[in-house]
Amino acid sequence: MEDVLQRLLDAELQSEALVKEAEHKRERLIRQALDDTRAAEKQFEARLPDLRNAFVEKAEERAAQAVAEQTRRYEEWRGQLQAQARERQPDAVAAAVALLLDTGKG
């Protein structure tokens, strides 16, 4: 009977040792996870300026493209207006002359 009790006591001591070892391992894993998380946060924070600069650069490129497109459209529209003005200039001059001559009669 003493032998069985001794084996039970030994098993209990081994179980307690395993539990303590598991707790220490768990604590080490938690500390390692926290350290890894902090390192990842620092790495991310270090990359923020680069991420911001890349975003600003792309936004500036898109803005420059939009300005170029608006400028192109404006020049196209201005060219059309000038062509129409040149086209209608003789009629406008004739109408103005007729108006002046007609006004002088009255």
Question: What is the rounded distance in angstroms from the CA atom of residue 77 to the CA atom of residue 30?
Answer: 67
For the residues 9-24, what does the mean pLDDT come to? Answer: 94
pLDDT recorded at residue 104: 60
Quote the tokens at residue 77.
């529209």
pLDDT digit string (tens) for 26-42? 999 999 999 999 999 99
Q: Does 52 have pLDDT greater than 80?
A: yes
Question: What is the rounded distance in angstroms from the CA atom of residue 7 to the CA atom of residue 23?
Answer: 24
Q: Is the pTM of this model over 0.85?
A: no
Q: What are the structural domain ranges in the chain?
A: 1-106
Question: What is the rounded distance in angstroms from the CA atom of residue 23 to the CA atom of residue 27?
Answer: 6
Q: Does 106 have pLDDT greater than 70?
A: no
